[in-house]
A and B are shown apart, each in its own frame.
Chain A
Amino acid sequence: MTKTARLILAGALLLAACAAEGTGDQASPTSAEAPPATIDTGTADTETAEPTTEPAGTTEPAGTATDTGATAAEGDPVLVGVNIEQSGPASVQGEAYARAVELLARQINDAGGILGRPLELQVVDNATDQTEAVTQTQRLVDDGAVAMVGPGTSPTTLAAMDTILSAGIPVVSMGSADAITDPPADRPNVFKTPARGSLMASEIVAHMGEQGIGRVGLIAVNNPYGDSGVTAWEELAAAGDVELVGIERFEATDTDMTTQLNSLAGAGAEAIVTWAIPPGAPTVRRNAVENLGIELPMYFDAGAGAELFVELAGAAADGALVIHPRTLIWDQVGADDPQAEALTEFGSAYTGEFGAMSGFAGYAWDALGLLRTAIEQAGDTEPEAIIEAMEGLGEYVGVTGTYEITADDHQGLGEGDLVMLTVEGGEWRPAE
């Protein structure tokens, strides 16, 4: 084949990929032009770029503003950066986060924006890559973001931490690691919406205590997320709250965990705790129920709480116990539940637009919601003002729980914010 023909074929392949993407299931991000004037965020060591007209990653092409509904907001937009994993291993979460923030941004703008100005999102993809997380954070800061939602995983957030701290803008991450917000003195401008791993673990222990279960086998995915679970459970075991009969690991790409499950069952576990997200979590459940016929109670952390869990585990999902925010049972909470209104607003909007509820979406919804409320209360978009407002919000009723963010606690969730859920007939229900 001649060189020209090869070049043409390569080009055609590329274009075909692009065209196919047009019918793919990625939602168009709600973002628009960055404002012409770059807001000086007082950073000494990141280059401030000239006025930018080219958003990175998956933002809209130049010149299109797609975040306006019937908006009454006017004036300079308030730019909030969204730094998430839209490709790579964490892309499932990234998609849910993107959907949630775009949906909320549209609602905010329809209601008049923030401080009477339109809210503008700049969604960038860090590809679950640590290097990319750093550069995209810088990019958002250079483009004048007054705050940032994301990154969505622990390694990406921690890798970008140095840049985040230097930039000084308020950042609300959806990562799970405690190190994101602790120690608070070292993290003045960083917050996170998912509950601490230690909280999830202790809530599980509380439930197990009611059933008289004391010996636990832990199986965790072999990545930072799984490590956080292992650390949390080891701490509980060291404090004597529970006995850990075994800790097994599996790779995120593994497809068969029967060996590890056998080890735990053989070591005398009275319950098995799984710390992973789909597809690992549903595979463990399937292996246990369908391949091995294990009848021990199986607990999962909130990472299992996505529609993919039920879809990939099939009939085996029934009976699994998942500690999770109330988002998955948003349409089942009683009217007297303090979160009822927030949950209904979120649940109906999200499922109305995208079909099934996503266990991840709530974290991003709350992240943007917290920022919006803080900015409104501060009456200002200066970083220090927003941060001070965040810490002084008192009780903020989100969909993940009721946040009480203070200067000493940049996460804000506690007992009572999580509930034990189970699957019945393929549907999420509160467990007894």
Chain B
Amino acid sequence: MSWPWRLAGWALFVLAGPALLALAGQVPFLTSGRLVFLAITALAAVGLCLIMGFAGQVSLGHAAFYAVGAYASGILTAGYGVPPIVALLAGMVLAGAAAAGVARAVFRVSGHFLAMATLAFGLILYYSLGHFRTVTGGNAGRGGIPKLAIGSWEATTDTRMFLLCWALVVLGVLVARNVVDSRTGRALRATGASEVAAGCCGVNVVRAKVGVFVLGALYAAVAGSLYAHYVTYIAPEEFGLLKSIQFLVVATVGGLTSVWGGPVGAVVLVLLTEASREAIPLFVEGATGPYELTIYGLVLVVVLLLFNRGIAGGIAHAWRARGRGGGGDPEPLAEDATGRPVPREVAP
């Protein structure tokens, strides 16, 4: 894609933040808080897209690194008066170290075993957070976390916090784009497509996988720190399996193979769940009750079956395919949600 288009794309992305803010004033269900959480989720989801879409590793424990960032920030700033930025960096280091350890252990296996191992890790951390009361405040959590401050600038209002978070999302996507387009990124994608082939080409498969897992964890850690400073209270319930699944749904709907998958997925899901909450009572008389769960699940299944590249992935694919004329080239193999080619059907 030529550079004016690219620049326009990035500008659009950056401006989407303030645009959302403006929208929040008009649309009733878009409170400023929801926007902040949207940005935080988007950031964590970008990391998950890198892990799942480009390295092809399913992570069902992403919320664990989110928790590490949140608790590191929370405990250090509230308990020891450490400046928020330092605490955030400490969270990143901790999450990265944990991710490296888990990755080395977990990447000896693949497929289902890998996924469930990440699930198990996430749950181990979750229960540990609740158990070690003196450090983490136990199940009751801990509050009194100060607002995020960089030097003398404090994110005291929702607007400031959102703009900061959105800036980080833009930065995050930028970094992801650079990683994906770099030599390391190509190695990553090769690993995701076929570890054997990549290994034959001289790619250090293990190092590539561990590297991307750590990178994804860093995104989650930053998102977690932002969360802690925004809500000023953290408790383990927020960081359980459901949170990991939420990141998963956001990333999948947005598009696992696209660096834009995080932000796109976050926006779409917020709009979808909220709009349907408003819309359903109009169709069904006297309808009350929580639909969010059902909608989440159906959206995930439908997207996986029909739009298996997610929304951003689908758009990217269509853009790339628009140049291909008819005839000559054989139709490329279809891809599933994680970018792997789906073998052509052999009739039984």
Contact = CB atoms under 8 A, between A and B. Distances in A.
A–B contact via C-beta, under 8 angstroms? yes
Contacts of B292: 87, 127
B288 A26 contact: yes
Interface string A41-61: 000111111101111111011
A159 B70 CA distance: 13
A228 interface: yes
A123 to B, nearest CB: 9
A432 interface: no
A49 B24 CA distance: 7
Nearest to B238: A130
A240 B32 CA distance: 49
Given A26-B288, A138-B31, A161-B232, A45 B306 contact: no
A134 interface: yes
Nearest to A61: B281
Given A179-B143, A222-B139, A224-B141, A45 B159 contact: yes
Contacts of B158: 45-47
Contacts of A139: 28-29, 31
Interface in B163-191: none
The B contact surface, by secondary structure, is helix
Given A24-B289, A44-B157, A159 B140 contact: no
A130 B31 contact: no
Interface residues of B, number: 53
B317 interface: no
Contacts of B287: 18, 21-22
B323 to A, nearest CB: 25
Contacts of A228: 140
Interface string B217-248: 00000000000000111010110000000000
B139 A21 contact: no
B1 interface: no
Interface stretch (B93-101, B200-208, B257-265, B294-302): B294-302
Given A7-B306, A61-B282, A223 B232 contact: no
B156 interface: yes
Given A47-B159, A131-B37, A177-B140, A155 B235 contact: yes
Interface in A132-146: 134-135, 138-139, 142-143
A28 B286 contact: yes
Contacts of B24: 47, 49
Interface in B273-291: 274, 277-278, 280-291
B138 interface: yes
B104 interface: no
Contact of A134 (B27, B130, B231, B294): B231
Contacts of A10: 298, 301-302
A87 to B, nearest CB: 3
Given A127-B290, A158-B143, A159-B233, 5 more contacts: A10-B298, A15-B284, A18-B287, A21-B284, A138-B34
24 contacts: A10-B301, A13-B298, A14-B295, A15-B284, A18-B284, A24-B289, A26-B288, A47-B24, A54-B29, A58-B288, A87-B290, A129-B238, A130-B235, A131-B37, A134-B231, A135-B33, A155-B237, A155-B238, A159-B231, A161-B143, A223-B130, A224-B140, A224-B141, A224-B237
Interface of A: 3, 6-7, 10, 13-15, 17-19, 21-22, 24, 26-29, 44-50, 52-58, 60-62, 86-88, 125, 127-131, 134-135, 138-139, 142-143, 154-155, 158-159, 161-163, 177, 179, 222-224, 226-228, 231
